[in-house]
Structure 1
Amino acid sequence: MSRGARFTERLDLLWLGATVGVGLLGLRLIHMQVVRNQHYSELAERQRTQVIAQAAPRGRVYDRNGDIVATNQPAFSLIFLPGKAQDPARLAGLADSLARELHRDRGELFERLLEAAREETAIHLAENLPLKTMFKLSELKTLYPGVDLIVEARRHYPYGAFAGHLLGYMGKIDRRQWQRLKGKGYRVDSWVGRSGVESRYEDVLRGVDGEIRMEVDAQGRLRRRLDEVPWQVGGNVLLTIDSRIQRAVEEGLRASPSGTGAAVALDPRTGEVLALASTPDFDPNLLLLPEWDSEKQAVASLPEFNRAVQGTYAPGSTFKIIMDAALLQESVVRLDERVFCPGFFQVGNRAFKCWEKKGHKWVDFLASLAHSCDTYYYSMGLRMKGPTIERYEKLFGLGRKTGLDLPGERSGNVFGPEARKARKRGWYDGDTANLSIGQGELLATPIQMALVAATVANKGTLWKPRFVKRLERPGRPPEDILSEPVGRVDLRPEVWDKVQEAMVGVVKGGTGQRVNIPGLVVGGKTGTSQNNLGDDHAWFIAWAARPGEVPSLALAVLIQHGGHGSSAAGPVARKAIEAAFDLASAKGHEAPAEGAM
């Protein structure tokens, strides 16, 4: 090939390479100008705007009379809006200042600030700030561009510890919850219900968060509000709780000998929960305080254990009500039949003691319950036999959950030959004697025993207890929650009449005279739950009515380590009954308790 031809070929290749290069450069320019244009526009937009999430106010919680028991109030939050180019040294200085003012871990704060700067995303650094702290932190706004304070709605419980175990409390969402709920609009720093009503009805109470889009300068300082997506407030929950009764039982439990216990009050006509309390209790407001607050740290160790539905105790002599129903229904005893009580009852070579050491002498059906004579029930229990007693335990709802709409409810424990057989253990006459007075392995929760009292009061209907009356979701008709009967204790009418009469006798002239309230018909039963690990537990269960009316209140009170049912649990029951019927705390009949049962 000639030198000229080779030159021409090289020139052609050069032109081809140049053409291809220019073409590729053109395609790159087209890609940058057209395809990537949206990306760079979005990036530029994000660099001059920030979106601040606004937590929606939660719905309110009301008691049955419309009294607000959970609501919201304004609170200050500290936010950080990173600018375009954040100097790590300045962020470190900000972390130092925040750690000092908030008593927080400096390293954790620095990591959060760095992450916000990398993601160019606004974050919450602290919430629900006390005024004193807020004023101190406001000085940082001038020193560190991007730091700001905003006002948000925060949960508030106007009556403090009122119904704390029932209402529950709020807490920050954890990582697992957030992964599950982020599709529903939850943020990584959202607040959620942790227990009680706040948790169970989270889907009703939670609103829809809003957003504010702000223009910021290169340092992250807010310049102006661009637009806003308003939040939507959550729905409301109307409870069946009566604040008067709830306060009465809470005050009574706190003033009890041990300060530890539970009380449940029901409407026996509907199964509505009128009061549900457990002590020690807690103020859910304190659990909303910042992590560094000393008051929050003080309550953080308080148990969330709800004795009303999770505590299980031997029912003691309150079980004699079920025994009476079984004895009459099964025709095991005549009303006028008398048993002699010398202070003990012999079963084989073992003497089972009556609580009255000197004995009750001769007692019949009504007197045996009024004075809680153990000897009578030992005798009748052995006559009726363990399998029959066990069957009546189950009939009255013991050994199974009540179905109350709260997490963590326990079922208690049935005690009898069948239950023993399932555990591959035998059954003996001594076990029957123990069971006849509500001891041994028989365990019940306070709400179960309140339902026993309610079942006697309404003569046979077992209700599924409920504490919510109505749900009010935005944009929907109100949803009324209906009562639900879950069982029936079918006894002859005269049996119910006699059991009620026997319970009235306990209050009028027996171990329950502390709860004898003029102007009311009150039926009750004291009880002592034996405890091998310390002082015995005290019980009182009751129902009450105005003369000539059907009972409208049933309740159970348990004082842990309280000793005697009459002296420890009786005063709490009296307070609850007086509150339910709008009675002043009249002196009434303050006869001394006859004994421990």
Structure 2
Amino acid sequence: MDSHAHYSGHTTGGPGPRRKTTRAVIAGTAALAAVAGGAYAAGLGPFERDSGPDPAAGKQARAFLADWAAGRIESAAGRTTSPGTAQRVLASFTSGLDIDEPELTAEPAAESEDGAVTVPFTARMPVTGLGTWTYESKLPLREQGDGTWKVDWTLTLVHPRLSDTEKFRLEREETKPPEVADRDGARLSGDAFPSLAPLMSRLGGGGGTDSGARGAIRLVDRVTGEVERTEAAFGAKTTRADKGPVRTTLDAEWQSAAEKALASHADGRNAALVALRIDDGEILAVANSPATGFNRALSGTYAPGSTWKIVTSSALLIEDAVAPDDVVDCPKYLTVGKKFQNVELSEHPGATFRKDFTESCNTAFISLRDRLGDGKLGEVARTYFGVGQEWHVGAPTYDGSVPAPKDETEKAASMIGQGRVQANPLIMASVTATAVTGTFHQPSLTAGNEDTTRTTPLPRKVVTQLRAMLRATVTDGTAKILADLPGEIGAKTGTAEVSDDQDNNGWLVAHRGNVAVACVVEEGVTGGGSAGPIVHSLLATAPGDSA
């Protein structure tokens, strides 16, 4: 049976009820603030360009996109020349097309001869239960009489083909999700494992599995309803030949432990966790809180914060730019276009680089930025850790982004996993696994996935140094919450800024035996305080280290 949902873009009448609360839709956009109006947006400090479009126009455009993505529709509309109309259209666009947590990425602004400014952007619109609709559009901005800038409202900025004569319609074809089994053949159900329910219909790409839910977004004539074109289609019409369950790499006991850990310690906050085998990348558990809706664990886009110092340290050690015993001072503050500081304003005068890592000293890492080329972090992330390459996991994923910094402020931010660096628990679990073995393995949820990644092993000396620093972070550093657990656990905490009006996200990555784990807690304030208890619970109750 087909079902239909409509988005008209009409400027009269209400948009209908919101599908999500503002807090819910913030989940997948934690990293967006860095790209579109967050604390580390391009153009901060003394490194602003002296020519080109007025920076205030670009800032307004990024703020508009950030508000729209985070569900702050009224605030986004207030940045336009027609707030009432904009609020109705933006709200009905996302609700009418079942769009959940859009990701909107701004490009550099361009100025026309008449003084107008245009900011192109890429929209990644996750359509609930189907997939992501990606397209490009542009924001027109005009300077107002008081010298401020506003988004010059028009339907086409929402989507280039949205107009007074055409609208969009969402069509769904109801399908039954495939049966799913764990690595040992045990059946997995959404009732027993709530985090897997949204994922089950998305499993595919390995062993000829069914693609699950199907549907399309059509452009239709407003008057006749006639379809003029298909904007996006989701789900291939294929079926499993044997009608048997989809065999996954998941482990029912690890999955159960992961879900219980989140349920017990996430404290109602949005959170996600991934556990995978170090030696082959096979995913043992994927868990989200709340369990329904957006899959933060695999598709979230977050600033990884200080967990990214694993990659930064790798780059510095590969380049012989620093050694673990070198003294790298850790002051409270360091200004590079903006003032950077350490969590709780900590300082460690005369600290070694090892101490800087175990205590997660932001200022020390930032002070080493000149020892790396502008594109070195992205090069190391891609070449050694596979981040930013296309992964074929067996389900939809976001595979990371480490763009070259636009200025010194952004370069400083990228050293500590901020700026425009984006990742998620899947990526950071994989980064941890690669760091402690030296070899990247494409993560997998199903067997037989295509692998187009090309990576180089980390030097053995660097692996040895990373393992020692990760272990010291548990015994003597910020990850002491794991110190009472058995086994040679190594870990790294992280705290990531999101925006001025949100608490920091908390991160923790860890490895023990043949398992690497990564966890993020939105607005968790600190990694040890929020993600720490979740990872501790998981490692305390999991059946073993999946040797």
Q: TM-score range by the shorter chain?
A: 0.5 to 0.7
CA shift, 1:237, in A, is 2.2
1:168 is aligned, of 201, 204, 209, to: 201
Partner of 1:65: 184
Alignment correspondent of 1:445: 424
- Is the aligned partner of 1:273 residue 2:309? no
Mean CA deviation greater in 433-442 or 234-243 = 234-243
**In structure 1, which of residues 396, 405, 412 is the aligned counterpart of residue 394 of structure 2?**
405
Could you give the per-residue CA deviations for residues 134-166 of structure 1, whole angstroms, max 9, x where no partner exists? xxxxxxxxxxxxxxxxxxxxxxx5515252233
Q: How many Å apart are 1:60 and its aligned residue?
A: 4.3
Q: Does 1:243 align with 2:252?
A: yes
- Contact map agreement 1:439 1:530 (CA 8 A) in 2: yes
1:530 corresponds to 2:497: yes
Cα deviations across residues 282-313 of structure 1 (Å, max 9, x unaligned)? 3xxxxxxxxxxxxxxxxxxxxx3111122101
- Change in CA separation of 1:553 and 1:388 when aligned onto 2, cut-off 3 Å: same
Decide whether the 8 Å contact of 1:446 with 1:557 is kept in 2: yes
Q: Does 1:465 align with 2:443?
A: yes
SS of aligned partner of 1:463: coil
1:542 to 2:493 alignment: no
Q: Aligned-pair distance for 1:534?
A: 1.4
**Letter of the 1:163 counterpart:** L
Instruction: Report the CA distance between 1:173 and its aligned residue.
Output: 7.9
**Unmatched runs of 5 consecutive residues or more in structure 2:** 1-174, 203-209, 218-232
Are positions 1:512 and 2:461 aligned together? no
CA deviation after TM superposition for structure 1 residue 67, in Å: 2.1
Instruction: Give the residue type in structure 1 aligned to 2:504.
Output: D
The residue aligned with 2:533 is 571
Deviation readout 1:449-468 (Å, 9 max, x if unpaired): 11101111322x22221112
Contact 2:492 2:509 in 1 (8 A): yes
Listed as ranges, the matches of 1:314-393 within 5 Å are 314-347=303-336, 350-393=338-381
1:314 and 1:529 in contact (8 A); partners too: yes
The AA in structure 2 aligned to 1:556 is: A
- The Cα of 1:238 is off from its aligned counterpart by 2.1
Secondary structure in 2 aligned to 1:326? helix
Structure 2: which amino acid aligns with 1:320?
Answer: K
Q: Distance in 1 between matches of 2:309 and 2:211?
A: 44
**CA distance, structure 1, for counterparts of residue 537 and residue 275 of structure 2:** 12
Q: Distance in 2 between matches of 1:356 and 1:58?
A: 47
Match of 2:239 among 180, 186, 203: 203
* CA–CA distance in structure 1, aligned partners of residues 391 and 213 of structure 2: 30
Question: Structure 1 residues 161, 351: closer, same or farther in 2, change over 3 A?
Answer: closer
CA distance in 1: counterparts of 2:454 and 2:275, whole angstroms:
19
Is the 8 Å Cα contact of residues 504 and 521 (structure 1) preserved in structure 2? yes
Residue matched to 1:492? 459
> Paired residue for 1:53?
none
Structure 1 counterpart of 2:414 = 435
Counterparts of 1:390 and 1:171, CA distance in 2: 33
Summarize deviations over 1:41-100 as a string: whole Å, max 9, x none.
xxxxxxxxxxxxxxx999742212332214xxxxxxxxxxxxxxxxxxxxxxxxxxxxxx
Amino acid at match of 2:290: P
Q: For each residue in 1:380-436, what CA deviation from the matched residue of structure 2 results, as whole angstroms up to 9, or x when unmatched?
A: 1233242222322322233344322213x234432324xxxxxxxxx3322221111
What RMSD over aligned residues (CA atoms) do the two structures have, in Å? 3.2
**Partners in 1 of 2:461 and 2:307 — Cα distance?**
21
Aligned residues: 346
Does the Cα contact within 8 Å between 1:63 and 1:238 map onto a contact in 2? yes
CA distance in 2, matches of 1:508, 1:463: 28
Determine if contact 2:436/2:466 at 8 Å carries over to the other structure: no
Separation in 1 of the partners of 2:291 and 2:236?
Answer: 19
Instruction: Find the aligned partners of 2:213 and 2:422 in 1 and give their Cα distance.
Output: 36
Judge conservation of contact 2:195–2:288 (CA < 8 Å) in 1: no
Against the structure 1 CA distance between its residues 496 and 174, is the aligned structure 2 distance closer, same or farther, given a 3 Å change threshold? closer
**Corresponding residue for 1:184?**
none
Q: Residue 559 of structure 1 contacts residue 568 of structure 1 at CA under 8 Å; is this kept in 2?
A: yes
Cα deviations by residue, 1:151-191 (Å, 9 ceiling, x for unpaired)? xxxxxx551525223323899987989xxxxxxxxxxxxxx
Secondary structure of 1:433's partner?
helix
Amino acid in the other structure paired with 2:186? D
Query: Measured at CA, do residues 544 and 465 of structure 1 come closer, stay the same or move farther in structure 2, by a change above 3 Å?
Result: same
- For normalisation by structure 1, the TM-score amounts to 0.53
* Distance change (3 Å), C-alpha of 1:203 and 1:341: same
Unaligned runs of 5+ in 1: 1-55, 71-156, 178-193, 208-233, 283-303, 418-426, 470-480, 546-551, 584-597
Matched residue of 1:527: which SS?
strand
Structure 1 residue 346, shift from structure 2 partner: 3.8
Contact 1:382–1:429 under 8 Å retained in 2: no
Q: Distance in 1 between matches of 2:389 and 2:510?
A: 21
> Does the Cα contact within 8 Å between 1:259 and 1:279 map onto a contact in 2?
yes
Q: Percent identity?
A: 29
Amino acid of the structure 2 residue aligned with 1:466:
S
Q: Distance in 1 between matches of 2:542 and 2:393?
A: 22
Q: Check the 8 A contact 1:61/1:237 in 2, yes or no.
A: yes
CA 1:314–1:201 in 2, change beyond 3 Å: closer, same or farther?
A: farther
Higher helix share: 1
Q: Secondary structure at the match of 2:531?
A: helix
